[in-house]
Amino acid sequence: MDLFDDLPPDAAQTPIAPGAMLLHGFARDGDAALLQAVESVLQQAPLRHMQTPGGYTMSVAMSNCGPLGWVSSASGYRYAALDPLTGQPWPAMPACFLDLAQRAAAQAGYPHFEPDACLINQYVPGAKLSLHQDKDELDLRAPIVSLSLGLPAVFLFGSPSRKDRPQRWRLVHGDVVVWGGPSRLAFHGVSALAEGAHALLGRRRVNLTFRCVRKK
């Protein structure tokens, strides 16, 4: 189902599945501080293309900040306190990141959100993310908070069953998607990024994904 044109231009938020909410333009007003913080983190923990356990190189470039970072290698997917590229702890999560994630989660009905991992994903035209579940976290009671910056993307969001066809949602600069509860293990992904240029990020899309890994 294509849902790109079903929304009024002034819609503030849209339920996209049980327990899942799209917050339109939620982070647009604070984008300058967020982008500055992204660059600061990446100076300490550079982007890299991780390998999947199957031996493939991911088209999305990644890094992390916060107490834990998500990593992938031939041995599998996991969270680690140290950046395997530098051997150092991941950079601290910037205050503006945490504030944005907590406000978005509360707006979507998930108060007291305390993420301990933030994945930073960079897409360039042609990069994509296959359908998958976020299930490496110990705390599945907490939601996922995902912020889009830069070029628009087609976000695929399904259900906890891989058999269900995902819906397609167009995400633009400043949009935030929050999902939890019955949708916490929904399959989701990103279609290949289309060519384009954004006023602030050029030929890039940056996605920040906030997760609670450890049980509180």
- Tens digits of per-residue pLDDT, 134-152? 999 998 999 999 999 999 9
How confident is the model over 191-209, as pLDDT tens digits?
999 999 999 999 999 999 9
Cβ atoms of residues 88 and 70 within 8 Å? no
Cβ atoms of residues 202 and 34 within 8 Å? no
Rounded CA gap, 118 and 211, in Å? 6
Cβ atoms of residues 74 and 93 within 8 Å? no
How confident is the model over 20-54, as pLDDT tens digits?
999 999 999 999 999 999 999 999 999 999 988 88
How confident is the model over 86-129, as pLDDT tens digits?
999 999 999 999 999 999 999 999 999 999 999 999 999 999 99
Instruction: Give the 3-state secondary structure of residue 103.
Output: helix
Residue 188 belongs to what domain range?
A: 13-211
Q: Assess if residue 8 is contained within a domain.
A: no
pLDDT for residue 37: 98
Q: Assess if residue 30 is contained within a domain.
A: yes
Q: Assess if residue 130 is contained within a domain.
A: yes
Domain count, the chain: 1
Q: How confident is the model at residue 9 (pLDDT cuts 50, 70, 90)?
A: very low
Q: Assess if residue 147 is contained within a domain.
A: yes
Q: How confident is the model at residue 73 (pLDDT cuts 50, 70, 90)?
A: confident
Q: Assess if residue 100 is contained within a domain.
A: yes
Q: Assess if residue 206 is contained within a domain.
A: yes
Q: Identify which of 68, 145, 135, 137 has the alpha carbon closest to the alpha carbon of residue 106.
A: 145
pLDDT for residue 102: 98
Rounded CA gap, 105 and 188, in Å? 18
Residue 209 bridge partners (DSSP): 119, 146
Cβ atoms of residues 1 and 154 within 8 Å? no
pLDDT for residue 5: 40
Cβ atoms of residues 198 and 204 within 8 Å? yes
Q: Assess if residue 6 is contained within a domain.
A: no
